[in-house]
């Protein structure tokens, strides 16, 4: 059974629909990438799947149950969501921020125990952010902060990862670190859906792709069938060239839109 | 500046508590009648002469304790509102509490509630102020509700507008009052602990305990809210419920404080800022804010009584005089 599914999902803001009739499913063991132009609805889709945005129509199912009927804490333990862009207003140590990822696991008194601290440290280590543990989140570079925020999601040990541009601001080495982390979660039986504008990150890191155009799914499936010159040219309105790369991963290069 | 690890906040709490006890003790020595430390000690714990016992137990101790409770309540209210609004510049008076309390108090005075010899003269006026504050808080809350959600941005705007409207009502009401009403009202506006009674201390202790009992269990949720409402929701935090409880508890604390002692500024803004660097999370922040606010107001009141003794200056003027420069220094110390 897929971890997370959307059926005829419409969602948006203030009565206006950004997504219309989106259906997709995230199977265990798979890493999926969400591709689309600016404003195509990628963030809206991730929010709706995370339960932050209530569907206007259709529904989201977590392990077969309608997300609206799953108790809040149970859903929070199952789904880890990384939103885009976070401007901290208050001073906060990275280690304390990552520990917040354990919130849905804490007991009635909300005091983190040894297991919670261990999970937070493991997540910091996985994101190569252990040395940042005592630093103030406001004093960090964009890439350092991004890794700490990702560690916060990983510390919750969710089965489903919904990550909005997780590799934004990251250097190549840390980009691979994040792709490895996503791969490990999938190998452990979880599901990952992440958005990106970096096409090399998409082809390197994902098994499947969801192409989103104007709030609707243009194509969905394994990268071999979705990251094609024809579909990517249509999706981004540029000329896309795809050649098979190492390990069968498609190598994509973009050129300017074809002259008409 | 890096927030301290949790061990240091326990030390900070111990130091602030010791400072508070020392300040309360010291403040018992100040006053128009000169009493030695020994006389104060005897009046408190033993059997001093009747006059000293009355002065210490009925006047000075209630005043010091009321100062501690009001300072603590204002600082906790500020810390909670800053967490609720996601805005480090939020102040307990931002959301209409001060304007509403001022209107209620003045209206009560015009109706003769505070007049000497009138029924319930000692608590009727604070009650009117408290009711005025609650009305303002509910209006602000209604203005900021969008589709069942309490909107952070609208809460701020709605508070500013309600405060402005309250000022207009004040000016309107003041034009009906006589000079005596106006003078006593202006004195109330400036903020003073001079009217402290054992009854007021008990009432405020109940409100402070109630406010802390509502807010402390939300500390972890406040930590999560610092990551944004959406992230907090995906961490399992019931965001709307938390915001509503925080809004009501913070307003209750500020309303009780303002209704009892008038408008004492800067404590609610300054103290959470000052102790934030010692607190790794909101549990420590709320506790340290209470202790810090209590210590600050007891100290400010001692200053207000002793700087130009035997004349007394308004404690609200002291907190603003000290608070504004201190706040600017804190801002400059930020990275």
Nearest-by-CA chain A residue for B272:
A90
- pLDDT of residue A260 exceeding 70: no
> Which whole number is the average pLDDT over B191-214?
87
β-pairing, A57-62 with A31-35?
A: unpaired
Asked whether the beta carbons of B244 and B52 are under 8 A apart, the reply is no
Domains of chain B: 6-333 (1.10.3470.10)
Burial B228-258 (b: 16+ CB within 10 A, else e): bbbbbbbbbbebeebbebbbbbbbbbbbbbb
B223-267 pLDDT tens trace: 999 998 899 999 999 999 999 899 889 988 988 888 888 888 889
Q: Which two tokens stand for residue A49?
A: 């799947």
Closest to B156 (Cα-Cα) out of B89, B237, B61: B89
Q: For chain A, what is the radius of gyration of the CA atoms?
A: 18
Task: Kindly state the percentage of chain A with pLDDT values over 70.
Answer: 98
Interface of A to B at Cβ within 8 Å reads 47, 50-52, 72-73, 75-77, 79-81, 83, 86, 88-93, 96-97, 100-101, 103-104, 106, 110, 134-136, 138-139, 152, 156
β-pairing, B149-150 with B145-146?
A: antiparallel
For testing contact with chain A, the best of B236, B237, B238, B288 (most A CBs within 10 A): B236
Predicted local distance difference test score (pLDDT) of residue B334: 61
Closest to B247 (Cα-Cα) out of B282, B283, B276, B215: B215
State the DSSP code for A136. B
- pLDDT of residue B120 exceeding 80: no
Predicted local distance difference test score (pLDDT) of residue B297: 94
State the DSSP code for A53. S
Of residues B120 and A232, the one with the higher pLDDT is: A232
Q: pTM above the 0.90 mark? A: no
Of residues B114 and A199, the one with the higher pLDDT is: A199
Q: Is A4 helix (H, G, I), strand (E, B) or coil?
A: strand
* Confidence band for B196, pLDDT divided at 50, 70 and 90: confident
Stated as kind and residue range, the H or E segment containing A225 is: helix A223-226
Residues B155, B247: Cα–Cα separation, whole Å: 10
- pLDDT of residue A204 exceeding 50: yes
Closest to A139 (Cα-Cα) out of A97, A100, A167: A97
The domain locations on chain A are 4-81+157-255
Which residues face A220 on adjacent strands? A210
B48-60 pLDDT tens trace: 788 888 888 888 8
State the DSSP code for A116. H
- Of A93, A96, A103, which has the smallest distance from its Cβ to B236's Cβ? A103
Q: How far is A134 from chain B (nearest CA, A)?
A: 8
Residues A230, B167: Cα–Cα separation, whole Å: 66
β-pairing, A16-26 with A4-13?
A: antiparallel
β-pairing, A208-213 with A191-195?
A: unpaired
- Of B1, B87, B236, which has the smallest distance from its Cβ to A89's Cβ? B87
Predicted local distance difference test score (pLDDT) of residue B117: 43
Q: Identify all chain B residues contacting A48, using CB atoms and an 8 Å cutoff.
A: none
Note the CATH number of domain A4-81+157-255.
3.40.50.300
Task: Kindly state the percentage of chain B with pLDDT values over 70.
Answer: 93
Q: Any alpha helices (H) in chain B, and if so which ranges?
A: 6-27, 37-45, 50-53, 61-85, 97-110, 121-143, 152-174, 179-190, 198-215, 219-225, 229-234, 239-261, 267-276, 282-306, 315-333
Predicted local distance difference test score (pLDDT) of residue B118: 42
Predicted local distance difference test score (pLDDT) of residue B89: 80
Our CA angle for B90, B74, B9, nearest 5°, is: 85
A171-192 pLDDT tens trace: 999 999 999 999 999 999 999 9
Closest to A222 (Cα-Cα) out of A36, A32, A46: A32
A1-40 pLDDT tens trace: 889 999 999 999 887 889 999 999 999 999 999 999 999 9
Asked whether the beta carbons of B56 and B44 are under 8 A apart, the reply is yes
Residues A234, A210: Cα–Cα separation, whole Å: 14
Residue B18 CA: distances (Å) to CA of B11, B23, B62:
11, 9, 19
- pLDDT of residue B46 exceeding 80: no
Lowest mean pLDDT among A114-118, A173-177, B25-29, B191-195: B191-195
Residues A223, B294: Cα–Cα separation, whole Å: 63
Predicted local distance difference test score (pLDDT) of residue B114: 60
Burial B190-224 (b: 16+ CB within 10 A, else e): bbbbbbbbeebbebbeebbeebbebbbebbbbbbb
Q: Who's near B213: CB < 8 A, 6+ residues apart?
A: none
- pLDDT of residue B72 exceeding 90: yes
Closest to B76 (Cα-Cα) out of B190, B202, B208, B201: B208
Q: Identify all chain B residues contacting A134, using CB atoms and an 8 Å cutoff.
A: 2, 5
* Confidence band for B187, pLDDT divided at 50, 70 and 90: confident
- pLDDT of residue B128 exceeding 60: yes
Q: Is B118 helix (H, G, I), strand (E, B) or coil?
A: coil
Predicted local distance difference test score (pLDDT) of residue B148: 74
Residue B167 CA: distances (Å) to CA of A57, A108, B175, B215:
46, 44, 13, 30
Q: For chain B, what is the radius of gyration of the CA atoms?
A: 20
CB-neighbour burial class of residue B41 (10 A; exposed 0-12, middle 13-18, buried 19+): middle
């Amino acid at each position: 059974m897929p971890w997370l599914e959307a059926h005829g999902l419409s969602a948006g803001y203030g009565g206006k629909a950004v997504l219309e009739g989106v259906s997709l499913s995230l199977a265990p063991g798979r890493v999926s990438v969400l591709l689309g132009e600016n404003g195509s609805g990628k963030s809206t889709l991730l929010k709706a799947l995370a339960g932050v945005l209530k569907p206007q129509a259709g529904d989201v199912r977590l392990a077969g149950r309608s997300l609206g009927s799953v108790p809040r804490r149970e859903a929070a333990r199952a789904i880890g969501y990384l939103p885009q862009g976070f401007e901290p207003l208050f001073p906060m140590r990275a280690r304390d921020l990552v520990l917040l990822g354990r919130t849905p696991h804490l007991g009635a008194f909300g005091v983190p125990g040894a297991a919670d601290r261990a999970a937070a440290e493991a997540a910091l280590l996985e994101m190569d952010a252990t040395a940042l543990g005592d630093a103030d989140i406001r004093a960090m570079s964009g890439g350092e902060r991004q890794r700490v925020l990702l560690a916060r999601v990983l510390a919750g040990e969710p089965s489903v990862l919904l990550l909005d541009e997780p590799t934004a601001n990251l250097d190549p080495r840390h980009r691979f670190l994040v792709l490895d982390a996503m791969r490990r979660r999938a190998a452990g039986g979880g599901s990952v859906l992440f958005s990106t504008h970096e096409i090399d990150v998409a082809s390197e890191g994902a098994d499947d792709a969801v192409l989103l155009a104007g709030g609707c799914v243009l194509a969905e499936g394994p990268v071999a069938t979705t990251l094609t010159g024809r579909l990517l040219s249509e999706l981004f309105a540029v000329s896309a060239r795809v050649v098979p790369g190492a390990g069968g991963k498609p190598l994509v290069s973009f050129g300017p839109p074809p002259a008409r | 500046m890096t927030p301290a690890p949790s061990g240091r906040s326990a030390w900070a709490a111990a130091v602030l508590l010791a400072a508070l006890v020392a300040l309360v003790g010291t403040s018992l020595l100040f006053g128009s009648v000169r009493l030695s430390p020994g006389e104060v000690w005897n009046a408190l714990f033993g059997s001093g002469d009747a006059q000293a016992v009355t002065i210490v137990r009925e006047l000075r101790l209630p005043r010091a304790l009321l100062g501690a409770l009001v300072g603590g309540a204002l600082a906790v209210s500020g810390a909670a509102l800053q967490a609720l609004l996601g805005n480090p510049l939020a102040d307990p008076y931002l959301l209409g509490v001060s304007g509403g309390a001022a209107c209620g108090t003045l209206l009560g005075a015009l109706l003769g509630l505070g007049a000497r010899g009138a029924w319930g003269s000692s608590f009727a006026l604070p009650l009117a102020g408290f009711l005025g504050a609650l009305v303002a808080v509910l209006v602000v809350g209604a203005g900021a509700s969008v589709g069942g959600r309490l909107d952070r941005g609208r809460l701020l705007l709605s508070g500013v507008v309600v405060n402005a409207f309250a000022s207009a009502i004040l000016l309107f009401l003041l034009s009906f009052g006589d000079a005596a009403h106006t003078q006593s009202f202006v004195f109330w506006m400036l903020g003073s602990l001079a009217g402290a009674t054992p009854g007021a201390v008990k009432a405020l202790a109940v409100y402070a305990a109630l406010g802390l009992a509502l807010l402390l269990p939300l500390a972890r949720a406040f930590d999560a809210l610092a990551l944004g409402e959406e992230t907090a929701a995906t961490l399992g935090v019931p965001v709307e419920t938390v915001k509503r409880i925080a809004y009501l508890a913070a307003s209750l604390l500020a309303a009780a404080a303002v209704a009892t002692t008038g408008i004492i500024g800067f404590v609610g803004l300054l103290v959470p800022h000052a102790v934030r660097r010692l607190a790794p999370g909101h549990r420590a922040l709320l506790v340290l804010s209470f202790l810090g606010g209590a210590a600050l107001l007891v100290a400010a009141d001692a200053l207000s009584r002793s700087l130009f003794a035997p004349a007394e200056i308004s404690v609200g003027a002291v907190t603003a005089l000290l608070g504004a420069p201190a706040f600017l220094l804190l801002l400059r110390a930020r990275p």
